[in-house]
Amino acid sequence: MITSTGSSASSTLTVGTRVFGVLGTTAILKGEGALCEYICISPKQHVVMPVPENCTLEEAGCLSIGGTMAYLVCKNGGITENCGLRILVNGASGGCGTIFVQAAKAMGPAQIVATCSTPNFELVKGLGADIVIDYREKQPLHEYLAKEFGDRKFDIVVDTAGAQELYENSPAYLEEDGVYVNIGNLTNGLWLTAFHWFMNYFRPVWLGGTPRKFVMFGPTVRSEAGDWVTRLVAEGKVKAVIDRSVSFYQVLEAFDVIASKRTRGRMVVKVADD
């Protein structure tokens, strides 16, 4: 909720307006964040948007990062309206996966195949997935995908978990001109993630590199991403999936749950009472 404005605020950002958004990279590098009761930000350096009328503040808090990532995945993966693509989403029940499945469904794909654990099947199907696979039962997952979809390969794979073995074996189920988009941390920590990122981008095929396009990125401040997700929410095509809401004094507990990689949608921290 905006309590005061300066000269750089637009006419849509007035006192009393409910807002949500994404902090710029510079703020994060400086150790600044949104876990506070008040924050002073510039709309030129961060994304700040009015909350859609059909959305609560708690729901809006779940949409900023997930919505930005969904927009970037669509942009980098060539997912446009009426695209008719076949899409695989690995890790569809998490914070980014739940938003992306809905956004991708709104783009008109030919098929969405998603992976998650069995307890989340109905959730993911309800968000728009046509086929849901329990990644824990179908191990090794890449072998199952090759067997089931080797003759009808995917156009794009979106990996929210960062499973390196899925990318290395993707030629068996990803089209030759397809794209593997990774927005996960490759499950093995920062340094190994950086190593795999470098190798996936630059290792040539003749040295054992995987012959499929690899794309990896994190959330960046894009005003058009905010406009895009706000429109989808206002049209009822995307909604927030909340695992649970916790108080400001339960932040550390919330981070423990996130670190377990077993969240069902997003965790919400309420820094103050409504």
Domain harbouring 209, CATH code: 3.40.50.720
Residue 102 domain boundaries: 66-216
Q: What is the structure's pLDDT at 186?
A: 56
Taking residues 207-229, what's their average pLDDT?
Answer: 88
Same domain, 95 and 211: yes
Please work out, in degrees rounded to the nearest 5, the angle formed at the alpha carbon of residue 217 by the alpha carbons of 245 and 56.
25
CA pair distance 113, 157, nearest whole angstrom: 10
Q: Indicate the pLDDT class of residue 262, thresholds 50, 70 and 90.
A: confident
Q: For a pLDDT cut of 70, what percent of the chain falls above it?
A: 98
* 83, 108 contact by CB (below 8 A): yes
Q: Which of 216, 234, 262 is the last residue of a domain?
A: 216
Does 209 share its domain with 230? Answer: no
Tell me, yes or no, whether 162 lies in a domain.
yes
Rounded to an integer, the average pLDDT of 91-101 is 95
Indicate whether 178 and 203 sit together in one domain: yes
Does 184 share its domain with 53?
A: no
Q: Say if residue 119 is in the same domain as residue 184.
A: yes
Q: Are residues 93 and 149 in the same domain?
A: yes
Kindly state whether residues 129 and 207 are assigned to the same domain: yes
At 28-77, the pLDDT tens digits run 777 788 888 888 888 778 888 899 999 999 999 889 889 999 999 999 99
Domain match, 58 and 72 both: no
How many Å apart are CA 236 and CA 231, to the nearest integer? Answer: 9
Residue 12 counted as domain residue? no
Q: Please tell me whether residues 155 and 40 are part of one structural domain.
A: no
Residue 167's alpha-carbon distances to 115, 156, 172, in angstroms, are 15, 11, 10
Q: What is the mean pLDDT of the chain?
A: 90
Determine, yes or no, domain membership for 26: yes
Is 25 within a domain? yes
Last residue of a domain, one of 216, 239, 259: 216
The total domain count for the chain is: 2
User: Is residue 45 located within the same domain as residue 168?
Assistant: no
Please indicate, yes or no, if residue 246 is contained in any of the structural domains: yes
Could you tell me if 261 and 161 are in contact, meaning their C-beta atoms sit under 8 angstroms apart?
yes
- Among candidate residues 216, 232, 253, the one where a domain is terminated: 216
Co-location of 48 and 139 in the same domain: no
Same domain, 59 and 89: no
Pairing of strands 131-134, 111-116: parallel
CA-CA distances (angstroms) from residue 174 to 28, 146, 180, 224?
A: 35, 9, 8, 29
State pTM to two decimals.
0.91
What tokens were used for 81?
């309206």
Q: 42 lies in a domain? A: yes
Determine contact, residues 18/1, Cβ cutoff 8 Å: yes
Q: Pairing state of beta strands 47-50 and 19-22?
A: antiparallel
Instruction: Give exposure, 53-62, as e/b (b: 16+ Cβ within 10 Å).
Output: eebeeebbbb
Confidence (pLDDT) at 222: 78
Q: Please indicate, yes or no, if residue 3 is contained in any of the structural domains.
A: no
The domain that holds 266 is classified in CATH as 3.90.180.10
Reported as a single tens digit per residue, the pLDDT across 140-157 is 999 999 999 999 999 999
Q: What is the distance between the alpha carbons of residues 230 and 211, in angstroms, rounded to a whole number?
A: 36
Backbone angles phi, psi at 56, to 5 degrees: -85, 170
Q: What's the pLDDT score for residue 46?
A: 83
Residue 72 and residue 156: Cα distance in Å, rounded? 13
The span from the CA of 5 to the CA of 130, in Å, is: 46
Residue 180, in any domain of the structure = yes
